[in-house]
Structure 1
Amino acid sequence: MAVYSMTGYASAQLSPGTTSAGAEGGKAATGTRLGLEIRSVNSRFLDLSFRLGEELRSHEPALRELITARIKRGKVEVRAAVEGAAGELAREPTMATLQRLSALQDTVKTWLPAAADLSVAEILRLASAEGNTGTDWGEGLLQTATRAVADLLAAREREGARLATMLLGHLGQLRTLAEQAKPMVPQLVEQQRQKFLERWKEAMALGEGSATPEAAQDRALTEATAFAIRIDVAEELTRLAAHLDEIERLIKKGGEVGKRLDFLIQELHREANTLGSKSAALELTRVSVDMKVLIEQMREQVQNLE
């Protein structure tokens, strides 16, 4: 199953009289066409908004049902309107329409004498809208929306594949950094143990010093043990490896994995922070910083996945 991004765009048009809902360029007697656009960006949940023309608003529930059946997350905006076909002249108003508009204007000016007269452009627009009132766009709107949703899902799938490839690449880099960190801890413990032994030998040479050789040796061993415990990052590296394996499994599985991946990225960041806080050498600090940079890049991209 594919991984889907929440970012995408699609559009579709329909002219009355075309041979199918997907055909474009066919001219109808009304000189109008239906245009529909769908845009989506990332969001924690599915957030739908509609901007529909007056003649299409009654079809919003059907559009909402269609989209929620296919899209689960994202801020989705749907725009649809009936407009004049590109390149066509304005529809010529009939005499009856002109008489009706004139009568309506006279009625308005009776109550609102200061109201402005209708302009030629406004008359043509109202006449065109009146001429289109008989067109039922319901079936055509749903067919056009179905095609646009399919195109949107295809765009989100392509973007999701790109993000999945990037995430898998970052997982490989994190595994490489973890492998670099593993041998550092034993080396550091051994170096510190040698230092403690040197201090113990110095204490033995004191002879009449305030601390007996046995007490000095016990303290050196205690400090060495405490240091080893303090810088031991084996548990963090083990948990980090488990999180990386789970992230890779989810990406390859696909589907609605965005929320689970977001949680796992937070866990990765926690382990990288702990690794840095236990660092006793510049090399281990560098590994922790490099990990956090990669994890932050992954977090930004995971938030775009459905």
Structure 2
Amino acid sequence: MTLASMTGFSREEGTLDNIRWTWELRSVNGKGLDMRLRIPQGYDALEATVRGLASKRLKRGNVSINLQVQREQNTTTLAVNEQALEQVLQALAVLQRRLPDAAAPNLDGILAHKGVLELQEAEETEDQKAAILKALEDSFKIALDNLVVMREREGESLNELLSGQAAEILRLTEEAEGLPSRQADAIKERIAAQVAQLMEANNTLEPQRLHQEAVLLATKADIREELDRLYAHVNALRDLISTGGAVGRRMDFLAQEFNREANTLCSKSNSVELTAIGLQLKTVIDQMREQIQNVE
């Protein structure tokens, strides 16, 4: 599997008989999977199917699904309203009895009465309705496929960016480990100088207290654990990148761990060079966290 972005768009159009429709699917970042559907009245039966199909293919993201349906104008027919016609004929019969010398009504006059002739929408049979719903469902599947493809294409870019950032974090970690200030002799000399300063500032320090202060200084100067965890985090990030799929949540947690180690590295820094590396690490990690927000 490859990484997938949560950002994507697709549009699919279709026609069947006198019906034309358009599916539009949009997705952006989200903590979970949140789908918002806009389906015209009369096609509500599609909602459960659409949600089910989308939830199988998408794991995270705010997804907007919009269906527009148009019917061609020539679907209406001219029909006689039998009830209205009967009422008109009954009224004419009454008038003819009362006015026997009046001219007999003609067909044009009868049909001109309001309501006798009316436009009616052609009714669909159950088979036609089922065929339309099936066509709309098939069209949605194509739109969903296209959305997934676009999210995967965006995921390829994220893969490249995150891999590059992992390599940069590894390079900076190795650079921190190779600093001259991390050599044992340099650390010993620096601790000795700091102990001498303590003794000069307070010559009444007891040997036990002085030993404790020296241990504290040595512990603060040791960044071995931070470096080891940074190495482990880089390997974990690379594993997630290669695994692919819905790994965004785990990546986000890992980014927090990266940031924690970089902060500790800066706080333990005993040289300008190490501080500079720590700040560079924080910059790369912040950039990485921004990209991870897009990962499904």
Give your verdict on TM over 0.5: yes
Instruction: Quickly say closer, same or farther: Cα 1:218–1:141, change in 2 above 3 A.
Output: same
Q: How many residues align?
A: 253
Q: Establish whether residue 186 from structure 1 lines up as the match of residue 173 from structure 2.
A: no
Of 34, 48, 64 in structure 2, the residue corresponding to residue 47 of structure 1 is: 34
Question: Within 5 Å, which residues of 2 pair with 1:25-36?
Answer: 28=17, 30=18, 32-36=19-23
Output one character per residue of 1:109-140: Cα deviation in whole Å (capped at 9) or x when no partner: xxxxxxxxxxxxxxxxxx79x45866522101
CA distance in 2, matches of 1:197, 1:69: 64
Where does structure 1 lack aligned partners over 5 or more consecutive residues? 17-27, 100-126, 204-209
Amino acid at match of 2:25: I
Question: Within 5 Å, which residues of 2 pair with 1:205-220?
Answer: none
Q: So what's the TM-score if we normalise by structure 2? A: 0.75
Q: Establish whether residue 156 from structure 1 lines up as the match of residue 162 from structure 2.
A: no
Output one character per residue of 1:189-216: Cα deviation in whole Å (capped at 9) or x when no partner: 144146358769x98xxxxxx969xx89
Partner of 1:301: 291
Partner of 2:246: 256
Contact conserved, 1:192 with 1:224, CA < 8 A, in 2?
A: no
Of 133, 138, 141 in structure 2, the residue corresponding to residue 138 of structure 1 is: 133
Higher strand share: 2
Output one character per residue of 1:72-102: Cα deviation in whole Å (capped at 9) or x when no partner: 11111100011257xxxx54854449x8xxx
Instruction: Quickly say closer, same or farther: Cα 1:211–1:143, change in 2 above 3 A.
Output: closer
Output one character per residue of 1:193-246: Cα deviation in whole Å (capped at 9) or x when no partner: 46358769x98xxxxxx969xx89998776554322112111011011101101
Amino acid at match of 1:182: E
Of 45, 48, 58 in structure 2, the residue corresponding to residue 58 of structure 1 is: 45
Deviates more, 1:34-43 or 1:53-62: 53-62
Shift of 1:280: 2.0
Where does structure 2 lack aligned partners over 5 or more consecutive residues? 82-118
CA distance in 1, matches of 2:147, 2:41: 25
| Structure possessing the higher radius of gyration over alpha carbons | 2
Q: So what's the TM-score if we normalise by structure 1? A: 0.73
Instruction: Quickly say closer, same or farther: Cα 1:141–1:221, change in 2 above 3 A.
Output: same
Root-mean-square deviation (CA, aligned residues, Å) is: 3.1
Shift of 1:297: 1.1
CA distance in 2, matches of 1:211, 1:297: 49
CA distance in 1, matches of 2:133, 2:55: 18
